[in-house]
Structure 1
Amino acid sequence: MAAYRDLSDIELTILLKEGNHSAFTELYNRFKGPLYIHAYNKLRNTEEAKDTVQELFTKLWNNKETLTLTSDLVSYLYTAVRNRVFRQIERKGLESGYISSIQDSIGNRSNMTDHRVRENMLSAMIEKEIAALPQKMREIFLLSRKANLSHKQIADQLGIAEPTVKKQVNNALKILRVKLGIIVYLLMLIR
């Protein structure tokens, strides 16, 4: 191996292209340290920097026969490390964005689910109490709140006086307020 240390990068590259494993080992030993430092300075992660250099040399060995250098070997290796580092940073950014998006989505879904469960429970309570109202009062109340008819429209539809409709709606709201509490009462006014 001592003889390989004395060879230039160009000579080692020629031997590498011929499949000379000792030439590859010399190139690896010659450049792994500086390339690791170059990758680490960008990634700030020991394992990722080691993996980047390892992947580069693995690809170099696997593609040795088709290796075409447009510049010297040193420039090729540093450019290859830089490109790998950029791809890793880009991939990590995308992964981080996906993870954040998924976490936000999960958080929103659990909040939405919790909200829907409470809303469904509240709706069931309201429906139960509305069903317990006296028949005529329930009918007027449902026309007012569910069908969104005005007091005049309800009075015309049922053939009763408009003040009677108003009084029945107010009485229904009083009953519901007592049975369901002030929160439901406010919700019913908003509906």
Structure 2
Amino acid sequence: MTEQEVRRYLRQMKDENSEQAFRGFYDLTYDRLFRIAHYYVRRGDWAQEIVLDVFMRLWEQRKKLPEVSNIEDYCFILTKNASLNYLEKEARHTDRNSGQLSEPAGRACSPEDTLISEELFARYVKALDRLPERCREVFIRVREEKQSYAQVAEELGISIKTVDAQLQKALARLREMLLR
């Protein structure tokens, strides 16, 4: 997501109440916000619902969005909080319906471990976003969606060797960006 493009969409959303600008902003940011939500809830249908709720909230706040200094981080935090709230709501609903107390989790993470994990994930999502489109697509399909090289090659109309080369390129760039 390019900062200049996002800022243009945000200004249009504020000044003109432009649904077309909102659609452009949506198209530019949906995949990234979906990955964030999916990281927390681990279910595609829940992640999709969460992201749609986040976009509703962003539309409602469109007048204030141009004032946000780092919209990328703002959207990350909105999506993370919405995901955690959704999980909490689902846990309460499940506990109420089961009539039992949920089992305590094994070893609870310390707040410091949680913060480090979330910061690392945020950096990963930003780095993934900065990959060239084909690299990112191959990486997501192979590493996150667990598709085989052959499946990816067939669906994208490329050779298996190209899939491997794009994956290696993505891994090298991610490693470089994350270790800075």
Select the structure of larger CA radius of gyration: 1
Q: TM-score, normalised by structure 1?
A: 0.46
Query: Which has more helix, going by share of residues?
Result: 1
Greater RCO (CA < 8 Å, at least 6 residues apart): 2
